[in-house]
Amino acid sequence: MSDKPIFLKMKKNEKHRERLQDKTRLLYRINIIASACCLAFAILCWQLMDITRVIPQVLASFALLNGLNLALHQVHRSLTVTYNIASIMALAGSVVVVLFSGGINSPFIFILALIVFAGYVTTRAYGQVYLAINLLIVAIIFSQNFGDSVLGENVVPEDSRNLFAFLSILLSVYLLGGVFGRNLLSAHHRLYRTKGEMEQRMREKEMLLKEVHHRVKNNLQTVSSLLRMQSRSIEDPATLSLIRSSQNRVVAMAMVHEMLYMREDLSKIEYRSYVQELGEYLIRSIKGPQNKINLHIDIPQIELGIDTAIPLGLLINEAVTNALKYGFKEQDEGQISIVLEREDKTEYILRIGDNGVGFPESVSHKTSKSLGLKLIHNLSRQLKGSVIRDVSKKGTNYIIRFREVTHAPFHTIA
């Protein structure tokens, strides 16, 4: 199982849910307060400032329609749709109020800046769009004779204009600082706190994974030691060979967990160093320290996940073991070659072989009783690959095409 990508995906999904919940709460809170303020402003215009035309109707309509917009969000669940409907209604309503309250001299024009600010809060792209639209609208309003616009008339009575200006500016400042600013700061603090908590959990999970890999490596080494101890009391050469082969397979898996434990990245291992260490161990184990086997490794800087590294390591273990036991059976000299190439992002070619005595072409994993041959083919199938024997070269040589495995389910190589 590929550990770190799963945890990173969990972290990403959890952060996305938290961010979505914060945006939803923020959207509802701001829109509810804005609607309430517009409704209260409409009542004040009507009752206190004797403004009976256009402006109170527009403000009240925005409040009611925005409430309906929030109710519809419960149906479609799209924040983008809800935000854009609210912004378009606010933009249209603000332009109408500005046109009918003095044009470019209207104090209500500051509300347009709030719409741009709300756009940047959502995404940079929305902010740029609404900024361009509002700049164009302001330019058009400015071009209309500076005072009473030809697109509308000032319906605010002369003796109420100062109060209208005061309340308009008060509304702008309150929405910007008291609503947008306060709620954005609160959401920022929640996100920052959540980020810190998630980073702490990730560190704890990484420490736990390191401990798991360490314990798995120790347990596999214990199994290897038990097999070694058991082999000391076995005199039958065939049985002894089986025990030692099993021991080498356990060691091949233990090396993967050891390398994962030693790395910062708990999901992948640097494969060249792994193959080098595994090959040298097998040569010492089977041929002894005083041997003349040359190990040629040509592997670039490739990192593989545990779901690929272990079956590929077992496959290399079987090929190298067969070469050492049968290819160089009567000699301590020879060469084993391991070449790994990347074809594309997920596909690889492994060329592995020796210059030993080889075996007849008629012998295959289907006709032979050799467990090593069967494992090579079964492991390549587990890696979603294929095995071709290269008979053009001396000895036993394989060309294995395989793909990197991610999130592999439980499987068997039998």
130 CB neighbour count, 10 Å cutoff: 23
The DSSP annotation for 39-89 comes to HHHHHHHHHTS---SSHHHHHHHHHHHHHHHHHHHHHH--HHHHHHHHHHH
Q: Residue 150 above 60 pLDDT?
A: no
Residue 232 φ then ψ, to 5°: -65, -25
Largest interatomic CA distance in the chain: 114
Mean pLDDT, range 150-155, rounded to an integer: 74
Q: Residue 87 above 90 pLDDT?
A: no
Helical packing angle, 79-99 and 110-122, nearest 10°: 170
* pLDDT for residue 410: 45
How would you list the strands of the sheet with 292-298, edge to edge?
A: 292-298, 333-342, 347-354, 397-403, 386-389
Instruction: State which H helix or E strand residue 386 sits in.
Output: strand 386-389
The model's pTM is: 0.52
The model's pLDDT over 191-215, given as tens digits with 9 standing for 90+, comes to: 666 666 677 777 777 777 777 777 8
* pLDDT for residue 180: 67
The CA distance from 88 to 311, in Å, is 58
Q: 164-168, 180-184, 370-374: which has the minimum mean pLDDT?
A: 180-184
Q: Which residue has the higher pLDDT, 353 or 141?
A: 353
139 CB contacts (<8 Å, ≥6 apart)?
A: none
The model's pLDDT over 23-35, given as tens digits with 9 standing for 90+, comes to: 777 778 878 888 8
User: Which structural domains are found in the chain, ordered by start?
Assistant: 3-200 (no CATH), 269-403 (3.30.565.10)
The model's pLDDT over 274-311, given as tens digits with 9 standing for 90+, comes to: 889 888 888 888 888 788 889 999 999 888 888 888 88
State the average pLDDT for the chain: 81
Q: Residue 10 above 60 pLDDT?
A: no
Q: Residue 117 above 70 pLDDT?
A: yes
The model's pLDDT over 330-349, given as tens digits with 9 standing for 90+, comes to: 766 889 999 999 888 778 99
266 CB neighbour count, 10 Å cutoff: 22
Q: Which two tokens stand for residue 326?
A: 């049968």
* pLDDT for residue 2: 45
The beta-carbon contacts of 269-273 under 8 Å, at least 24 apart in sequence, are: 269/303, 269/304, 269/306, 269/309, 270/301, 270/302, 270/303, 271/299, 271/302, 271/303, 271/304, 271/309, 271/312, 271/340, 272/297, 272/299, 272/300, 272/301, 272/302, 272/340
Mean pLDDT, range 81-90, rounded to an integer: 88
Q: Are 66 and 121 in contact (CB under 8 A)?
A: no
Rg (CA), the chain: 37
